[in-house]
């Protein structure tokens, strides 16, 4: 059979595999508006054994939030720097105790050098309890399809090796050297050799009438160390973490319509004064709908 005739009989994907440019971050502009619906649950257990005595502290935060987010300021690379959040619905409990927010006014979230501050629009600071609960849900509110740990780095395309279009139905490893550099800082250290990862581009689908990439990402850090913030400089030297992300990522980097599910398990053991163990489990689901 002639090559041309054979090519006409083959599926398009067999002749030329489809490739798409993936973008984990959104290119925001002032005035962007979108609705964020977030469900989240976090369980943390902190235990310390000193001179044979064990103390244990548990913290559980669970709830959901629906909010309208407006971008008020952006970084040069398009990341949201300042957003106004109008909470439409907030149902959260911290260790079984309901946490309330003032839903009559917007909350202004401002990012600066990795830290985020919250104020009500009238200038009033959120109480520590309010800020703690809101901060948990705010991980998704900038509308980025990344966990907070990787959101503030400009090199996410290089980390996930998506500078160039990727083929549907393929999978690959992230750049572990860049990932380790991004995650390591004055409080945490992870070595390249202790990271395993897989980025899977499953298919292209439709969500709210927009083209989205169906992706699945797994990152496992088999060993990491954390230095605490307190004066005793608590060192958790035998740590591990597993992060999985799955979602519908808009192929248009300026579009918000999509979903993201994140599951995280972290365990640390160490300490200079007695043995310290920290276990954290988090599950978060978010859905975004652009309205402007």
What are residue 150's phi and psi, to 5 degrees?
-110, 0
pLDDT at residue 6 in the model: 45
pLDDT at residue 86 in the model: 94
pLDDT at residue 4 above 50?
Answer: no
What are residue 9's phi and psi, to 5 degrees?
-85, -20
The pTM assigned to this predicted structure is 0.81
Mean pLDDT, the chain, integer: 82
Query: In whole angstroms, what separates CA 179 from the centre of its chain?
Result: 14
The rounded distance, in Å, linking the Cα atoms of 189 and 227 is 9
Reference 140, options 248, 280, 286, 2; nearest CA is 286
Q: pLDDT of 140-166, one tens digit each?
A: 665 555 444 444 454 678 889 999 999
Q: Using alpha carbons only, what angle is made at residue 220 by residues 215 and 222, rounded to the nearest 5 degrees? A: 175
Q: pLDDT of 81-106, one tens digit each?
A: 888 999 999 999 999 999 999 999 99
The rounded distance, in Å, linking the Cα atoms of 196 and 184 is 16
pLDDT at residue 187 in the model: 65
Q: Which residues contact 192 (CB under 8 A, 6 or more apart)?
A: 176, 177, 179, 180
Query: Strand runs (DSSP E) across 32-187, as ranges?
Result: 33-50, 53-74, 80-94, 97-99, 107-112, 115-120, 166-167, 170-172
273 close to 46: Cβ distance less than 8 angstroms: no
The rounded distance, in Å, linking the Cα atoms of 8 and 3 is 9
pLDDT at residue 246 above 90?
Answer: yes
pLDDT band at 39 (very low <50, low <70, confident <90, very high): very high
What are residue 256's phi and psi, to 5 degrees?
-105, -20
pLDDT band at 60 (very low <50, low <70, confident <90, very high): very high
Q: pLDDT of 13-25, one tens digit each?
A: 444 568 999 988 7
Q: What is the mean pLDDT of residues 118-127?
A: 92
pLDDT at residue 149 in the model: 46
Rg (CA), the chain: 21
Query: In whole angstroms, what separates CA 32 from the centre of its chain?
Result: 20
Domain boundaries, the chain: 25-290
Q: Is 9 left (phi over 0), alpha (psi -120 to 50) or beta?
A: alpha
Token pair listed for 208: 């709210």
pLDDT band at 62 (very low <50, low <70, confident <90, very high): very high
73 close to 82: Cβ distance less than 8 angstroms: yes
Map residue 157 onto helix, strand or coil. helix
Query: Of the given ranges (26-30, 111-115, 227-231), which has the lowest mean pLDDT?
Result: 227-231
Reported as half-sphere exposure (CB side, CA atoms, 13 A), residue 140 has a value of 29
């Amino acid at each position: 059979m002639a090559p041309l005739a054979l090519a006409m009989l083959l599926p398009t994907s067999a002749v030329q595999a489809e490739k798409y440019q993936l973008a984990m971050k959104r290119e925001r502009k002032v005035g962007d508006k979108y609705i964020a619906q977030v469900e989240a649950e976090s369980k943390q257990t902190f235990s310390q054994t000193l001179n044979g005595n064990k103390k244990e502290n548990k913290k559980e935060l669970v709830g959901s939030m629906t909010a309208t987010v407006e971008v008020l300021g952006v970084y040069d690379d398009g990341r949201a720097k300042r957003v106004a959040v109008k909470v439409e619905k907030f149902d959260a409990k911290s260790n079984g105790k309901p946490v309330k927010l003032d839903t009559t006014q917007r909350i202004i979230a401002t990012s600066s050098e990795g830290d985020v501050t919250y104020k009500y629009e009238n200038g009033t600071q959120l109480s520590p309890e309010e800020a703690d609960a809101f901060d948990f849900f705010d991980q998704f509110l900038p509308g980025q399809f990344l966990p907070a740990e990787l959101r503030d780095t400009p090199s996410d395309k290089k980390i996930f090796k998506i500078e160039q279009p990727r083929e549907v139905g393929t999978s690959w490893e992230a750049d572990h050297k860049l990932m380790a550099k991004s995650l390591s800082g004055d409080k945490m250290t992870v070595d390249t050799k202790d990271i395993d990862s897989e980025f899977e581009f499953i298919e292209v689908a439709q969500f709210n009438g927009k083209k989205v990439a169906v992706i699945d990402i797994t990152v496992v850090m088999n060993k990491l160390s954390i230095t605490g913030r307190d004066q005793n400089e608590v060192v958790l030297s035998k740590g591990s973490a597993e992060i999985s992300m799955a979602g519908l990522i808009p192929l248009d980097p300026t579009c918000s319509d999509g979903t993201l599910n994140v599951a995280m398990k972290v365990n640390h053991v160490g300490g200079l004064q007695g043995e310290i163990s920290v276990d954290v489990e988090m599950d978060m689901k978010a859905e975004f709908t652009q309205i402007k």
